[in-house]
Amino acid sequence: MKIQLILIVISLITVSCLGQNKPTDGQKMEQTQAVVFQEMNHLNLKLIDSEFLVLKTQKEADEIYKKINAANSSPRKNPIPTVGYGATYIVLQPKVSTNDFELGEVSQENGNFFITIKEINNDEYKTKKFPLSIIEVQEEISVKKITFKRIK
């Protein structure tokens, strides 16, 4: 009987302690996850009016790459990615005060993406002011919003 009583007390204490790490209404537990990505293209060309565009259809990808390849004077053109099939393509064109940027970490929480960028001056783009990057995220995801974190 004493052993059963001791086991019940230990079980109650354990269950009580497990619930103490849950966030309260006024707290938020950090749940951002690193996103595996690859930069597919980086150039300086006005492609979109917003700061980002998720390519949801093959037609959108074809239109974007048609503009990219039209602006490319080289006979070697950029290959057009296939939308879907386990990857997500995002055009990033953040507003910057310089003529270029470098990508840093990408993380996400519930479809809200946080992308670290470093604004730089690129001699190759002296007369241009619309740097952009197209990234491939290595899974099909839903993107609700992108927030750019600028670092120096």
pLDDT for 96:
94
Question: What pLDDT digit, counting tens, does each position of 73-131 carry?
Answer: 888 888 999 998 899 999 999 999 999 999 999 999 999 999 999 999 999 998 899 99
pTM: 0.77
pLDDT for 85:
87
Signed CA dihedral, 53, 55, 57, 58: sign only:
positive
Question: What pLDDT digit, counting tens, does each position of 48-59 carry?
Answer: 999 999 999 999
Q: Residue 130 corresponds to which tokens in the numbers above?
A: 């619309």
Please say if the pLDDT value at position 30 is more than 90. no
pLDDT for 1:
53
Which of 12-16, 32-36, 90-94 is most confident?
Answer: 90-94
pLDDT band with cut points at 50, 70 and 90 for residue 147: very high
- Cα separation, 139 vs 152, whole angstroms: 30
- Per cent of the chain over pLDDT 70 is 80
Residue 35's nearest CA partner among 152, 118, 132, 116 is 116
Specify the DSSP element, H or E, that contains 147: strand 145-151
